[in-house]
Structure 1
Amino acid sequence: MTVNAPRPHRPSATEDLPPKSPAGTGSGAAWHARVDCGREVGAGFLVSPREVLTCAHVVRDGQHSSVEVTFPHATGLGPVAARIVTDGGWAGGDLDPGDLAVLELAHEVPLTPVEFAAPDEGYGEPPPRLLLHGFPDRYDEGTVAEYRITAAGRLRDEWVQLEAWTGHGQPVAPGFSGAAVVLAATGRAVGMVTSATGERGARMLPAAVLARYVPRLAELVPAPGFGPAATSALRGLLADVVRTGAPCVPDQLYAEAVDPVTGPPLPPGGFRSLWDVLWYLLFEVADPAAPGRFARRLADLVDDPDLRFALHRWAGTAPRGTAPAAPVDPSAPDWSPIVVELERSGAGGGQYLAEVSAYRDGHRRLVGSRTLSKRELSRYVAERVDSAFRELPHGAPVLIAFVLPRRSLNEPVAQWPRGADDPSPLGCLYPLVVMDRDRRRQGSLQHALRRKWHQLDGRAGTELVRVECGSTEDQGRLTVRLFDDGHVMAFTAPPKSPRMRQLFTAGLNGSVPVMLWPRTGCDGRHGADGPCTGGTFLDELRAYLAGLPPSEIPLRVRALRKDVYLSGDLAGHWARDLTLLWEDPRCFPEPSGHAASPVR
């Protein structure tokens, strides 16, 4: 049953009031309010200079009767008219959820609003003493009941059960609905009374549940690991995302925000809105890094660059969690990689799943993931690569690595522009390499690559394994030969023809860590005595890389691409379309597949 009943009159009985507590404490704070609506009398509490929170059933007749709010502990402040501005969707029954309403006062009042406690402060062993300031019959200025929480669990994911502190004293009675439940020790609120349950029991909406119904209250209720300013900022950004109409699926965003191994599963019924997801991450998920993941995933779904930047900036200040970093090989080169993974999607013809990540401190930090058509890839990648730089240490040496399907390794990704308004090729601005997606997922080849790099560490030069356009070497034998001795391979032509694809596959299976080729090259039609442009390419490349350690090849190739681009001789230069496959597994955590399914 609710704890408000119609009362025809309000006789004064000030002589029966208990002594007031000092101003600002739980039982005598000025923010305690009495709410009158028609024949209903209930309690409430000030949450802002012009807003009072109470139960919806206290003001159920607010559309037909005036609502009046009085602050009995504010000397000289008379009744203030109010109107209902927000409710929790209460349907009218004693057990219906959402029994709360926000009242807007006719004017601001010069009182300090309530202060909320952290969600777990109302619990403990022994349980803390709680005070409820209500307005039962004959107590116009209110009286205090003492209660405690019986158990931490919520009833129907809504209420917390209260029981009387002692077997005597003031019980919850008509007039207590809407009363703040406050800690006797601090005066901070932990919830709001909604109903009585028997002679010595009551139900309370916890503060976190109040915030679920009234999102701006989340700025007042301390979320674990987040201050009011951080919560307010993210809530505002969330509202901006909703206004943009970004294609957000709440259940999917939740799944991508929680830890895939230790995170709680999707709650029954899922989520109705983005706010429901954010509220759940703030108050129900014991992982302070989850809201940051949520913000970064939202950033990927919006097209507005300013909003995307703001979300990434918020995520950058959010806690990172306590997961240990992956072990770092002390011999690994000092790269800070940005990895772009492209994969054909099953969502439709010509669709690709693009994921952009930054690697820092042994962790992979997903920056963006979206399914796109091929013509949209370069612009999307440029935007997310730009965002990935915010995840890297200041001044760190950057390596951009494209992880591509084998059939796409010849794509001109080094020539993709840096941005929509900047046609500068990425490969001329940063060291840029490609890696074979299939090899990245094979444990035996990754192990062999690590072994190769330990052999290469400390070498002062690079020796090429030349693959000429007329090579007839058997693929299997070449793989076996390269497995022990092959470190750097160079081809006269891209892996397009069946023969070149076989030789190229031999290099990948032979765990060759560095492979170079021209995107266009000798097609073998020059005859036995004709000049071979592929041979010229190999000669020039050998001279250019002579005396260079393999670990420095990405930097040297970047300088070469820059020289070719600035020379203006894009058609005649021997390195005009040079592609570099370079893979040192020590630079990256173990690959674990895409963060999202290619089918979307």
Structure 2
Amino acid sequence: MNSASWHARITCGRETGAGFLVTERHVLTCAHVVARSGTEEVSVSFARAEDALPAKVVAHGGWDGHDTAPGDVAVLELDRSVALEPAEFAAPSDAYGDPPRRLVAYGFPKRFEEGTLAEYRATADQLIDGEWVQLEAWAGHGQPLAPGFSGAAVTLADSGRVVGMVSSAARDPGIRNGRMLPAQVIARYWPRLGELIPTPGYGPADKKRLRELVLARGPEFDGRPECSPERLYSDAVGAFGPPLPAGGFGSLWNATWYLLSEVPDAEAVARFAARLADFTEDAPTRSALRAWPSRVPDDRARPPLKAPGRAAAAGTQPWSPILVEIEPSGSGDHQFLVEVSAYNGRHRRVVGSRALPADRVRGYALERIDEAYHELEPGARELIAFVLPRRWLNTDVAHWQRSADDDSPLGSFAPLVVMDLERRRSGGLQHKLLQKWLRLDGQSAARLHRIGCGSLGQDPVRLTIGLRRGADMVGFASPPRARGTRRLFQASLNAAVPVMLWPRSGCRGEHRDGVREGCAGEAFLDRLAWHLADLPPSELPFHIHELRELAYASEDPDPHWAYDLVLLWEDPRYLPDPTGYAHSPVG
């Protein structure tokens, strides 16, 4: 065995036990060894130290005094640092194997003031009551576990690395077994230990930062099931990931540490941190959680910034959308599910996903849109895309105040489009849209179909069939509010027209005696047709953004004709739809 000097002898009143140095000033032992620390002095001595050092209990696992109670862990802080190398830890799985690994404990039973060794092995890697691993003697002779071994480090015989701590021994001397608290279980009770235990994918600095973020704030639960540790874990591992452990998690840290130490998918804990961010009200902590870890490992590098399946127009960058999806949550008439994502090529990062009452939707969406910019590459060409239910497509999202500190309209800040939720969910319509864009890529100009105030009596089915064959863009003279306009609007969506434009206000399109002289809707279509002439449809978000900037900045007493212009624009190649979170956050 490695002649480690970090083994410690612990005394507290009449109780003697063992422990081990884990930092230059901290020692781990069992809570029952220092149970009388409130009234008795605690002292720690090391084999190579001349004097015993006073210590105090600075962390406790919550052990309640019963033999089988969980949390039999205590962290002692020495009154000064010691010049000894602390213990080193093995990976959690290293304690087990076939053949079994030989494990060694160094304890201080009666008549062994200098300490003695006991050799054991783990019966199996199965946790008893979610807490302990059973130990059985390596051989039928030799030193058994006994009082004085409590708190002793259990180490690998070949390397001396720690895999756990002795917590109890069989009461019957004829039964040569005992129990070990694995190191990863101890870290539930003292989170700092997690930085010392090897885990795949993340080093001590990453784990320290995550621990600080999780313990510093965490979410404001308010009893909401969607932000419980169990729900956040399920969102992180997905529908086919490891199931919840029996009994769930007692805290956010327990869920975090379980993902780090027990779940093979190293990406899961990063998804957990991002999901936790969504329920953290403190903005700096939220940003730090979402950005964790600060570096992207080589095997998880982001894909190159390009749109899948297409070349960008000459002289332009491909779009990197910020997607804002708003829909009824299904949990009440005034509850909505809002999800904000950022795209880089086919890489999608969910920035926030929350079920909210109606009066909180706008503020939440705007806040997460702003944070989504952190996910875009420096050279990315942003596009804010709102996915809305069909009946809400006329919502004035382009006019939303950009932030609490910026009164300018969101539509003046970046190119902004809307998309139809029902159409985005339809496999058939998405396929037709892809076909339309592939054809448009080879055309020099797009065909605009006008639906003016005198066109509202046409048959919707015939319009759908005709638009599938003969239109690339549709312009409406009036908003989709009146019954006739709504029917033709739906017919155009069903035709998989990639681009649709209309005014949010103005003419209602309800002329009963033909188009009137000076109809605002027809004038709108005339101006629109002139403006769109020779513009590539793929670049319309950019050109409409420029037009909105002119309209918003106009000092003319009459509103600019494009002030209320709505652009529905959808190219599925820029918006692949991988699952962001595996579960809806609706409780």
**Structure 2 length as normaliser, TM-score?**
0.91
Residue 65 (structure 1) aligns with: 40
> Which residue identity lines up with residue 237 of structure 2 in the other structure?
V
Residue 193 (structure 2) aligns with: 217
Of 234, 238, 262, which residue of structure 2 is paired with 1:259? 238
Q: Distance in 2 between matches of 1:502 and 1:30?
A: 82
Q: Secondary structure at the match of 1:133?
A: strand
Per-residue CA distance 1:509-561 (angstroms, 9 max, x = gap): 11111100011132346764411111111111111111111111111111111
Pairwise CA distance, 1:324: 11
Of 506, 529, 536, which residue of structure 2 is paired with 1:542? 529
Moved more, 329-338 or 505-514: 329-338
Instruction: Confirm or deny: 8 A CA contact 2:87 2:162 kept in the other structure.
Output: yes
Instruction: Confirm or deny: 8 A CA contact 2:503 2:562 kept in the other structure.
Output: yes
Instruction: Confirm or deny: 8 A CA contact 2:270 2:293 kept in the other structure.
Output: yes
Of 479, 484, 494, which residue of structure 2 is paired with 1:509? 494
Per-residue CA distance 1:88-146 (angstroms, 9 max, x = gap): 22233333322222223233333232222221222233333332111122221112223
Residue 478 (structure 1) aligns with: 463
Pairs within 5 Å for 1:146-545: 146-197=119-170, 199-242=175-218, 248-260=227-239, 262-315=240-293, 317=295, 329-331=308-310, 333=312, 334-471=318-455, 472-524=457-509, 528-545=515-532
RMSD: 2.6
Residue 134 (structure 1) aligns with: 107
Q: 1:595 to 1:27 in 2, by over 3 A?
A: closer
Q: Distance in 2 between matches of 1:148 and 1:563?
A: 76
Q: Is it true that 1:95 corresponds to 2:68 in the alignment?
A: yes
Residue 315 (structure 2) aligns with: none
Q: Indicate the percent of aligned positions where both proteins have the same amino acid.
A: 54
Pairs within 5 Å for 1:567-578: 567-569=554-556, 571-578=558-565
Q: Distance in 2 between matches of 1:464 and 1:404?
A: 24
Q: Secondary structure at the match of 2:125?
A: coil
Question: Where in structure 1 are there 5+ consecutive unaligned residues?
Answer: 1-25
Instruction: Confirm or deny: 8 A CA contact 1:466 1:489 kept in the other structure.
Output: yes
Q: Distance in 1 between matches of 2:284 and 2:38?
A: 42
Per-residue CA distance 1:447-467 (angstroms, 9 max, x = gap): 111111111112111221000
Q: Secondary structure at the match of 1:466?
A: strand
Instruction: Confirm or deny: 8 A CA contact 2:119 2:137 kept in the other structure.
Output: yes
Q: Distance in 1 between matches of 2:11 and 2:214?
A: 36
Q: Distance in 2 between matches of 1:49 and 1:215?
A: 17
Q: Is it true that 1:587 corresponds to 2:570 in the alignment?
A: no
Residue 22 (structure 1) aligns with: none
Q: Secondary structure at the match of 2:363?
A: helix
> Which residue identity lines up with residue 189 of structure 2 in the other structure?
Y
Q: 1:525 to 1:408 in 2, by over 3 A?
A: closer
Pairwise CA distance, 1:496: 0.3
Question: Where in structure 2 are there 5+ consecutive unaligned residues?
Answer: 313-317
**Structure 1 length as normaliser, TM-score?**
0.89
Q: Distance in 1 between matches of 2:411 and 2:459?
A: 34
> Which residue identity lines up with residue 375 of structure 2 in the other structure?
E
Q: Secondary structure at the match of 2:84?
A: coil
Q: Distance in 1 between matches of 2:201 and 2:578?
A: 30
Instruction: Confirm or deny: 8 A CA contact 1:440 1:591 kept in the other structure.
Output: no
Q: 1:409 to 1:451 in 2, by over 3 A?
A: same
Per-residue CA distance 1:194-218 (angstroms, 9 max, x = gap): 1224543332111000101212211
Moved more, 171-180 or 573-582: 171-180
